[in-house]
Amino acid sequence: MSRIQPSTVAVAIVGAGASALITGKTLLNDGFDNLTLITRDSTPGGTWAGERVYPALRLNNVHGEYHFSSLPMPGVGASRLKGSQLTDYMESFAGQYLKGHIRFRTEVINVRRPNALETIIESEVGEGWIMTVRNLKDGSTEELKFDKIVLCTGGCSEPNIPTELQPPSSLQIPVIHSSKFWVNVENIVPSLQSTDGGSSPTVVLVGGGKSTQDIAAFLCKKGIRTKVVFETADSFISAPDWLPAFLRRSRLMSIMSPTIDLRSRLERFLHKTRIGSMIVQSYWESLQSNSFNLLKIPRDSPLRRTHSVFWSIRVNDESYATDSFFTLCTEGKIELIAPTRVIGYGHDGRSVLLKSGETIPADAVILGTGYGSSWERLFDKQTADDIGLNRTIPDSFEKWDYETLKNPPAARPKNEQWALSIYRGLVPAKSILRHDLAINGAVFSSNNGYTFEAAAHWISSYFLRDPFLKLPSSVEAAMAETARVAAFVQQRYPNMLLWTSDSYSANIVFFGWPQYVDQLLEDMSLPSVRSGGNWLTWAFSTVSVEELKTLKNERGSKRDTTHQSL
Ligand SMILES: Cc1cc2nc3c(=O)[nH]c(=O)nc-3n(C[C@H](O)[C@H](O)[C@H](O)COP(=O)(O)OP(=O)(O)OC[C@H]3O[C@@H](n4cnc5c(N)ncnc54)[C@H](O)[C@@H]3O)c2cc1C
């Protein structure tokens, strides 16, 4: 197979969030000079763009662990990183490595093959892509041609509003999706404070996730009455800031979480034996109950109605600040209405309607109803089907006989379940032989900096057709692997796909991100388990993104060696 000349290949990355920035840098370093990142935002960072980040936003990952190996994260200290630190980081990363390669205020409105009826499965040069973009400054549209594209449009960039909560024209109060709250906060708060001639206005927040919690705490501190309606709240882990790195930044948590392949004797012991399973169970149970106790959540509080820390991906890493959402709730300053759902709006046009039939008066409604897929608006249905970005019905019946996976929560009916067929969460299985489409940012991981960076190298090797990158030899083989992953995800996280969008669930690895990255490294024929340690200490060795710093050179040496031997 001929060697690709990367400088002759036009590559587009859709997005300029964290996953796009590291993918862009990695591709540029590998010689893909004809590279354009396209974003509808006016600054880099995506979720962390300055135009989006709000004052109360704190990173909910392990301390400081959201950066890339080439640029240290300044200000990593005892407490969690602030959203604004992420903004500064993303801006300096983009300024340092991607100057002149980002096209801002440009919305991608359609991506398609030049010939929609194209049936070639494998093509050496590829027929490329046509992308229609809209210039958001003047509204003009334009068609661009690229040889390869990487989708980095994120899992939290398209607000989702369920049909029943779409505001009817008769509604007299504002309804705001949580993602639009902070950009409009300077208008929203004064307009609420002037409501009703001085009596305290009421905001009803729908949903028990992180966004609603942050907004509720903010409004409450502004003297606005807040009522949060939810069925199940996000779960959280709260631990003192001074927890040592060998507990907080090691592989410990990932080993305690069963993964698709149990890669070590320790993991097999923990997940396949009765004693191991008891250790795992008590580990997660004590994490959950210690977290409740640390935040002094009363036994009968609806805040204990959370998703399970073990079985779910709705888990935040909380610090225990004295004026947090949780303390404001336990002090009675934020009212919780749970367990129930908002199913619409009241006939009076100024209230929300609960499942019970009760209505709650409101001066504004904030919807923390999550995010939809950012791929939907990019592709028409036919193109999505052709390239393999569509939902499938899970059709693998493989089961994992782990002790730790016994007694799962009840699964929703089969007809509500779905899956995607995206190999390694990076390339649609159907397109695996084409080498002209990849995705970064759609694997649900709790350490995105580390995961995005490893994935970026995998994608670059895939585009370069590096001979050392191990890939399935056929579409069918790629499909078989994605079906197996889908079956595992369904068993490991029953129902969790129903809580995320397609563009955030190409695979769910969550606490298992170290094992997932090990697999990507092994695909690239590179050493895995880079945190080191001996048979006794490896589980407690600190994992750091710096261990990925040499990947470009390691891949380069492999490439040279393979080509010399051909
Ligand atoms: C409020 C909030 C808090 C979060 N907190 C955490 C956290 O603490 N820890 C954590 O790990 N994750 C958190 N997340 C998830 C977060 O989205 C990911 O960590 C990560 O930032 C995703 O990066 P990304 O590059 O994949 O996507 P994004 O950051 O969402 O970037 C998407 C990019 O695609 C662009 N885009 C999308 N569609 C189009 C289009 N049609 N045309 C042009 N451009 C387009 C956007 O403009 C943007 O540049 C949070 C998300 C939200 C919303």
Place of tokens 């490439």: 559
Between 178 and 78, the more confident residue is 178
Atom of ligand 1 nearest to the CA of 445: 11
pLDDT at 121 over 50: no
Atom of ligand 1 nearest to the CA of 440: 26
What pLDDT does residue 184 have? 85
Which amino acid is present at 117? Answer: L
Between 249 and 2, the more confident residue is 249
Helices (H), 65-123: 83-97
Instruction: For residue 376, give the nearest of 507, 505, 501, 506 by alpha carbon.
Output: 501
pLDDT at 119 over 60: no
Provide residues with CB under 6 Å of ligand 1.
Answer: 14-20, 38-41, 46-48, 59-61, 107-108, 152-154, 156-157, 211, 374, 377-378, 441, 448
Enter the tokens of residue 224: 């606005």
* Overall average pLDDT of the 481-489 stretch: 93
Which amino acid is present at 69? Answer: S
Window from 221-225, 394-398, 424-428 with minimum mean pLDDT? 394-398
Q: How far apart are CA 228 and CA 176, in angstroms?
A: 14
Q: How far apart are CA 494 and CA 477, in angstroms?
A: 25
What pLDDT does residue 200 have? 77
When pLDDT is cut at 50, 70 and 90, the band that residue 76 belongs to is: confident
What digits encode the pLDDT tens for the residues 170-225?
999 999 999 999 888 888 888 777 655 556 789 999 998 888 999 999 999 988 99
Instruction: For residue 542, give the nearest of 253, 237, 266 by alpha carbon.
Output: 253
What digits encode the pLDDT tens for the residues 314-331?
888 776 666 788 889 999
Centre of ligand 1 to C-alpha 154, Å, is: 5
The domain segmentation of the chain, as residue ranges, is 7-157+372-391+418-470+502-565, 163-367
Q: How far apart are CA 566 and CA 563, in angstroms?
A: 5
What pLDDT does residue 54 have? 86
SS3 558: helix
What digits encode the pLDDT tens for the residues 324-364?
888 899 999 999 999 999 999 999 999 999 999 999 999 99
Q: How far apart are CA 15 and CA 38, in angstroms?
A: 5
**What's the Cα-to-Cα distance from 157 to each of 82, 106, 125, rounded to whole Å?**
19, 15, 32
Neighbours of 225 (CB within 10 A): 18
CATH 3.50.50.60 fits 7-157+372-391+418-470+502-565, yes or no: yes
Which amino acid is present at 378? Answer: L
Window from 63-72, 109-118, 463-472 with minimum mean pLDDT? 109-118
Q: How far apart are CA 65 and CA 448, in angstroms?
A: 8
Q: Do the bridges between strand 141-146 and strand 371-372 make them parallel or antiparallel, or are there none, so unpaired?
A: unpaired
Centre of ligand 1 to C-alpha 502, Å, is: 14
Enter the tokens of residue 343: 């199913």
What pLDDT does residue 566 have? 63
Q: Do the bridges between strand 371-372 and strand 158-159 make them parallel or antiparallel, or are there none, so unpaired?
A: antiparallel
Instruction: For residue 462, give the nearest of 527, 549, 523 by alpha carbon.
Output: 523
Q: How far apart are CA 408 and CA 495, in angstroms?
A: 11
pLDDT at 116 over 80: no
* Overall average pLDDT of the 513-525 stretch: 97
SS3 248: helix
* Overall average pLDDT of the 369-391 stretch: 94
Q: How far apart are CA 265 and CA 543, in angstroms?
A: 19
Hey, do 7-157+372-391+418-470+502-565 and 163-367 end up sharing a CATH topology, with the first three levels equal? yes
Window from 213-217, 234-238, 467-471, 535-539 with minimum mean pLDDT? 234-238
Enter the tokens of residue 59: 């990173």
Centre of ligand 1 to C-alpha 369, Å, is: 16
Percent of the chain with pLDDT over 70: 93
Percent of the chain with pLDDT over 90: 71
Place of tokens 């690895």: 509
According to DSSP, the residues that pair with 318 across neighbouring strands are: 238
What pLDDT does residue 64 have? 63
Q: How far apart are CA 535 and CA 512, in angstroms?
A: 19
Under 8 Å CB-to-CB from 506, ≥6 apart: which residues?
420, 422, 425, 426, 439, 442, 443
Centre of ligand 1 to C-alpha 54, Å, is: 14
Q: How far apart are CA 207 and CA 341, in angstroms?
A: 8
Centre of ligand 1 to C-alpha 49, Å, is: 9
Neighbours of 556 (CB within 10 A): 14
Window from 89-103, 107-121, 179-193, 458-472 with minimum mean pLDDT? 107-121
When pLDDT is cut at 50, 70 and 90, the band that residue 168 belongs to is: very high
Average pLDDT value for the chain:
90
CATH 3.50.50.60 fits 163-367, yes or no: yes
* Atom 41 of ligand 1, residue of closest alpha carbon: 108
